[in-house]
Amino acid sequence: MTDQTDRFSVAGRTAVVTGASSGIGRAIAEEFAADGADVVVCSREQENVDPVAEGIEESDREGSALAVECDVTDRDAVEALVEATVEEFGGLDVLVNNAGASFMANFEDISPNGWQMILDINLGGTYNCTQAAEEYLKDGGGSVVNVASVAGQQGAPYMSHYGAAKAAVVNLTSTLAFEWASDGVRVNCIAPGFVATPGLASQMGISADDVDRESVERRVGVSEEIADVARFLASDAASFVVGETVTAAGVPDVMESPDV
């Protein structure tokens, strides 16, 4: 009899994780590898992603790792990423579109170049990688896990470009999930809230050491908590979860009764 917990496993699968040099992407790659998946980790700088692959290879994690330099806005580089994955591991089962970028600015201060850059990385990168991986994802029934943001669900002051791009990723998730369902591919999305990544540390001075992991009523999460959601969405346990965006943002903001 099959152990029901096996449905929560990604063992034996090959996963590509973009933006995997640090933070959420790195945590996803390391958790997938620990579970027995082979992972291809990529970022724009080879020297930033090599240590991630080396750390996985040198650990007692069951999965293997391959580091590939790839700018997700460069379609040729993305095609080469997919080719390298298939050549190394024989296929591609899970695509995690995590690569992203942003900067804070008033809407009127965002230049055309700045606006386009953020859309190209967050939305265009998701488009490039998913389309390039299509053939292999449909060969055996794969899974796409997009990483959006609560900024794409409810807006984000001083990050209008980022919020708009992530809103588009949320919409793309549900639309593509419908189109590819008949091909056996599940497409889902995660919308993290504030997560203690190096990016948050540099912008707001909050690190993972500041997060109380014992408290449910928290406002900031850690990368491993997003990796847990990604692994679930990529596993057979999420077989009936299609086209959904899972918000992982801690305790919600709610309308409270006014003080009288």
The CA-atom distances, in angstroms, between 17 and each of 5, 240, 260 are 24, 23, 51
Instruction: Give the distance from CA 86 to its chain's centroid.
Output: 20
3-state secondary structure 243-255: CCEEEECCCCCCC
CA distance 43 to 39: 13
Secondary structure (DSSP) of 47-108: HHHHHHHHHHHHSS-SS-EEEEE--TT-HHHHHHHHHHHHHHHS---EEEE---------GG
Among 127, 136, 158, 162, the one annotated catalytic: 162
Does residue 127 have an active-site annotation? no
End-to-end CA distance of the chain: 60
| C-beta atoms surrounding 135 within 10 Å | 11
- Residues belonging to the active site: 162
